[in-house]
Amino acid sequence: MKHKISLAALVGLLLLCQMAWAADDINLDVTEKTLSNGMQILVVENHMAPVMSTFVRFKVGGVNEHTGISGTSHLLEHMLFKGTKIIGTTDYAAESVLMKKIDSLAALLRDEKGKLHSKLLGGSEERAKALRDEIAKVQAEETKYVIKDELWGTYLKNGGSGLNASTSADGTQYYVSLPSNRLELWAFLESDRIANLQLREFYSERDVVREERRRSYETQPNGRLQEALIASANWSSPYAWSAIGWASDIENVMREDVEHYFHTYYSPSNAIAVVVGDVKADDVFAICEKYFGKVPATPAPPPVLTDNGPQMGERKIEIEFDANPSALIGWHMPEAGQADVAPLDLLSDILSAGRTSRFYKNIMEKKLGQVSASSSFSRFPSLFTCRVMPMGNHTVDEVLTAVYAEIDRLKTEPVTQAEIDKILAQTDADFVRSLASNNGIAFRLGDMQAVAGNWHYLLDYRQEMKKITPADIMRVAKTYLTKTNRTVVTLVKPASAGGDAAPKAGL
């Protein structure tokens, strides 16, 4: 099926540095096909240069995990660069023997750690250390068969650039740009990652991810705030932990658990591939059928059904951390595709987009604090958030009071049409800039296809934005940005670091 919405005019105006364009004029010639095993392929032909950008999105992320395996999607993001039965190894048969030995030792270590964790079952620290040392010896032996970064090296030798991946609660994506005559190489390597993945150097890479979590979350005030907010606001939501997972789950998840997760979710029928560049759609489809199409179809993964009930009152959380005081506020809001998402998106920009925004003029210019607002676009109901950081001698409570005052104004005084028009112009400019490269187009199409179920919603959403009225802004502010619907996480310095001492509990 082919949807004609022209590309040449878009590129021409981008080259002329046009900064805004009505969304219904955006030009994308998207051709799409579903392979025999259910994998979706989207192609945009752009013959201005002999290059292409590719994007493979798996519809799996933190929302598909559960306690015990939180962070597995992100861990697999790392593991998919480790190679397969033919990539990344000099002798797969010999290496697999060592991997099985490591698995056996890891199972013994897990059991020993379980005994130590209970403190009643007679676990031995000495036995646990001996097992760790033995695993390290076998891992060192395994390295003689490992070809480090062979996947990236292969892409690099063939003109590849930008090879990377990312994981969120909603999905995991892998991307690389290449000369367009390397289309078949890309299809071979990426389909091989699905069909023949080997969790090579699993336990050492698990340690790498554990360190990444420490650096990004445990030692960072923003990471602490973010984790506390999503855990507190999403008490039974699939968004109850960050994509990197809980520390104890990262430390203890087993290779067989991750392998089972991979075979459940990383199947062609749960994947979308996007190719944008100097290619012909029919050639892309034929090559994708040749390589991706031979990967067997698997049953659909289980649906995500867990959800929050209605929040029955304001939640307040205090985190002690040796950093400048700050706060993060979250209000529950609907998922992508619901009618109120676009008005909330526009509302967030009215509050904090640029120097003419309300937060900037009424809070930041007065040197009260730094404040920003953002709206979610997600697979399931998520959060509208505001981040608060006081300036000078002002307190978090002062800035929160000013934030709530600005939000309450939205409920009683209609915003002006001029404010809405200004945001729409900025949004259109940002939208066009996001499509200024093959990679940007591929990312936006794949993400929208995965989250909203239809890439064309990328354009339809802009039309929804253009229909928003001042009354819509007032309505969603009254509906969602309420005290009962919000969770507030405040970061305070512990008493030992010069903060206010915590009150002592009564006897």
Instruction: Convert the pLDDT of each residue in 53-76 to its tens digit.
Output: 999 999 999 999 999 999 999 999
Average pLDDT on 427-451 reads 94
**Res. 212: pLDDT tops 90:** yes
State pLDDT tens for residues 132-176: 999 999 999 999 999 999 999 999 999 999 999 999 999 999 999
3-state secondary structure 355-399: CCCHHHHHHHCCCCEEEEEECCCCCCCEEEEEEEEECCCCCHHHH
On whether both 206 and 70 belong to a single domain, the answer is: yes
At 16, the pLDDT band (50, 70, 90 cuts) reads very low
Among 253, 271, 299, the domain-final residue is: 299
Nearest to 423 by CA among 465, 390, 480, 384: 465
Instruction: Tell me the two tokens of residue 4.
Output: 């004609």
Q: In Å, how far are 113, 470, 485 from 413, measured between CA atoms? A: 59, 9, 21
State pLDDT tens for residues 36-55: 999 999 999 999 999 999 99
Q: Using DSSP bridges, classify how beta strands 51-58 and 172-179 pair: parallel, antiparallel or unpaired.
A: antiparallel
On whether both 362 and 268 belong to a single domain, the answer is: no
Instruction: Give 467's contacts (C-beta < 8 A, 6+ positions apart).
Output: none
Contact (CB, 8 A) for 165 and 172? yes
Average pLDDT on 76-94 reads 97
For the chain, what is the mean pLDDT?
92
On whether both 100 and 180 belong to a single domain, the answer is: no
On whether both 209 and 259 belong to a single domain, the answer is: yes
Average pLDDT on 228-247 reads 95
Neighbours of 348 (CB within 10 A): 21
Q: What is the pLDDT of residue 24?
A: 53
Average pLDDT on 326-347 reads 98
At 118, the pLDDT band (50, 70, 90 cuts) reads confident
Can you spell out the DSSP letters for 125-149? HHHHHHHHHHHHHHHHHHGGGB-TT
In a domain, residue 202? The reply is yes
Contact (CB, 8 A) for 113 and 248? no
Average pLDDT on 111-127 reads 86
Q: What angle do CA 403, 408, 409 make, to 5 degrees?
A: 100
Alpha carbons 135 and 15: distance in angstroms, whole number: 56
In a domain, residue 9? The reply is no
Residue type present at position 261: Y
Instruction: Tell me the two tokens of residue 104.
Output: 């056996």
**Res. 22: pLDDT tops 50:** no
* Counts for the chain of helices (H) and strands (E), in that order: 18, 12
How many CA atoms are closer than 13 Å to the CA of 264, on its beta-carbon side?
Answer: 16
On whether both 415 and 280 belong to a single domain, the answer is: no
In a domain, residue 309? The reply is no
**Res. 278: pLDDT tops 80:** yes
Average pLDDT on 91-115 reads 95
On whether both 178 and 294 belong to a single domain, the answer is: yes
Contact (CB, 8 A) for 204 and 95? no
Alpha carbons 217 and 226: distance in angstroms, whole number: 9
**Res. 309: pLDDT tops 90:** no
The answer to whether the Cα torsion of 181, 185, 190, 191 is positive or negative is positive
On whether both 294 and 274 belong to a single domain, the answer is: yes
CATH number reported for the structural domain that contains residue 449 in this entry: 3.30.830.10
On whether both 400 and 466 belong to a single domain, the answer is: yes
Instruction: Tell me the two tokens of residue 224.
Output: 């602490």
Average pLDDT on 116-133 reads 88
Contact (CB, 8 A) for 44 and 28? yes
On whether both 262 and 289 belong to a single domain, the answer is: yes
In a domain, residue 23? The reply is no
Contact (CB, 8 A) for 202 and 293? no
Q: What is the pLDDT of residue 27?
A: 67
* pTM exceeds 0.75: yes
Q: What is the pLDDT of residue 225?
A: 96
Number of structural domains the chain divides into: 3
State pLDDT tens for residues 322-335: 999 999 999 999 99
At 117, the pLDDT band (50, 70, 90 cuts) reads confident
How many CA atoms are closer than 13 Å to the CA of 481, on its beta-carbon side?
Answer: 31
Q: What is the pLDDT of residue 328?
A: 98
On whether both 463 and 381 belong to a single domain, the answer is: yes
Contact (CB, 8 A) for 378 and 170? yes
Q: 125-142 and 92-118 helices cross at what angle (nearest 10)? A: 160
In a domain, residue 344? The reply is yes
Q: What is the pLDDT of residue 496?
A: 74
Q: What is the pLDDT of residue 25?
A: 62
The answer to whether the Cα torsion of 113, 116, 121, 124 is positive or negative is positive
Which residue, chain included where needed, has tokens 């699905």? 194
Instruction: Give 88's contacts (C-beta < 8 A, 6+ positions apart).
Output: 82, 146, 147, 148, 150, 151, 198, 200
In a domain, residue 392? The reply is yes
In a domain, residue 22? The reply is no
Contact (CB, 8 A) for 315 and 233? yes
Alpha carbons 429 and 283: distance in angstroms, whole number: 33
**Res. 11: pLDDT tops 60:** no
Nearest to 183 by CA among 164, 163, 202, 160: 160
On whether both 240 and 335 belong to a single domain, the answer is: no
Q: Using DSSP bridges, classify how beta strands 382-390 and 369-374 pair: parallel, antiparallel or unpaired.
A: antiparallel
Among 299, 331, 363, the domain-final residue is: 299
In a domain, residue 17? The reply is no
What is the extent of the structural domain holding 370? 315-494
On whether both 179 and 239 belong to a single domain, the answer is: yes
Alpha carbons 237 and 340: distance in angstroms, whole number: 20
Contact (CB, 8 A) for 494 and 322? yes
At 122, the pLDDT band (50, 70, 90 cuts) reads confident
Q: What is the pLDDT of residue 4?
A: 46
At 500, the pLDDT band (50, 70, 90 cuts) reads low
3-state secondary structure 207-272: HHHHHHHHHHHHCCHHHHHHHHHHHHHCCCCCCCCCCCCCHHHHHHCCHHHHHHHHHHHCCHHHEE
